[in-house]
Amino acid sequence: MLYQRKTLSTGNNVGPPAPLPAELVGWPDSALANVSAAAPLAAAQLGYAGKGFFPVEEPAPPPQPPSTVLTRTEFLRLFTMAEVILIKQTAKTNEVVDYYQYMLDSATTLDLNSQTVQDGVNGLEALNLITAGRAAQVLGNQQPGPVGG
């Protein structure tokens, strides 16, 4: 937990919120709100005369971006069933699509930042095997939307 140190006479903050100083750990919040009133001698000795410590909420950690390294299954879930079926059918007659299908089948993980993965997904869009804009969604690790919306 973090505490904001304040000068009680002005209400001004003293520095940024920080962990409670070791010598005040265990004090109840009511005593920390006015160290001088709770323990005048200790406040003077510790340099906390006229100071108070108030608990503050710690900021939530920033959200983590989605991983760019996916298992084969996680990668395939970025496509709709119709897209996967069309890609598999096209791979039977198109050597380039067959190559990328082979690479997918051989991989245990796929990195969306890999040039090979990016070229393959962009190629699917160029061949109209996935609709315009879908390559950016797939490479952004975004699940496809619901069918029809």
Close Cβ partners of 64 (under 8 Å, ≥ 6 residues apart):
none
Residue pLDDT, tens place only, 12-54: 999 999 999 999 999 999 999 999 999 999 999 999 999 999 9
Residue pLDDT, tens place only, 130-142: 999 999 999 999 9
Rounded to whole angstroms, the Cα distance separating 138 from 114 reads 13
Cβ count within 10 A of residue 95: 7
Contact 4, 19 (CB under 8 A): no
Answer whether 0.85 is exceeded by the pTM.
no
- Across-strand partners of 70? 110
Residue pLDDT, tens place only, 93-131: 999 999 999 999 999 999 999 999 999 999 999 999 999
Q: With 60 as the cut, is the pLDDT of residue 149 above it?
A: no
